[in-house]
Amino acid sequence: MQTEDEVIVEAPSKVTLGKKEYEIKQLKIGKAMEWRTKYGPQLSKVMAAYGAEANSPEVFMEAFVNCPQLMLDAVFDYAPNFPREKVMEEATEQQMMTAFVAVMGFAFGPFLGGVMFLTGLKKQMDKTASAALEQSSRLQ
């Protein structure tokens, strides 16, 4: 999650996909509007299916875990510098969810006052990843 100062200077968000760090840069107004026009209605439909409960980070994650192709396409369209084939081979779903959260923050954060929501989402992601690691280690 970016600080207010990072937003002002247009600092990119850095994410690790596979073993490589990539930057997601905030789109300029025209490109951002095109992206929201393309993905906004689809994202809204997914969220509407979950109703008012979609405001919680847990429900938000569940909604998009059930629509992985939409999440992937939204990330790759927002960050065309990501080599899709390489990322698909090397990145984990958790890493891609982190990239998706960064994209959502850039795309909708300025309009939704979503810093608190996305921070809660990030905490939930971290908790989910920790639980998965713990369960995986128990299985070994």
- Name the residue ranges covered by the structural domains of the chain: 4-139
Q: What is the pLDDT of residue 47?
A: 74
> What mean pLDDT do residues 29-53 have?
83
- What residue spans of the chain are helical by DSSP H? 4-8, 29-48, 57-65, 68-78, 84-90, 93-112, 115-139
Task: Of 2-6, 36-40, 78-82, 127-131, give the lowest mean pLDDT range.
Answer: 2-6
Task: Of 16-30, 34-48, 101-115, give the lowest mean pLDDT range.
Answer: 101-115
> What mean pLDDT do residues 58-86 have?
86
Q: What is the mean pLDDT of the chain?
A: 79
Asked whether 33 and 115 are in contact (CB, 8 A), the reply is no
Q: What is the pLDDT of residue 88?
A: 96
Q: Is the pTM of this model over 0.85?
A: no
Spell out the residues 6+ positions from residue 102 whose beta carbon is closer than 8 angstroms to its own: 13, 15, 24
Sole residue written with tokens 């990843």: 129
> What mean pLDDT do residues 28-47 have?
90
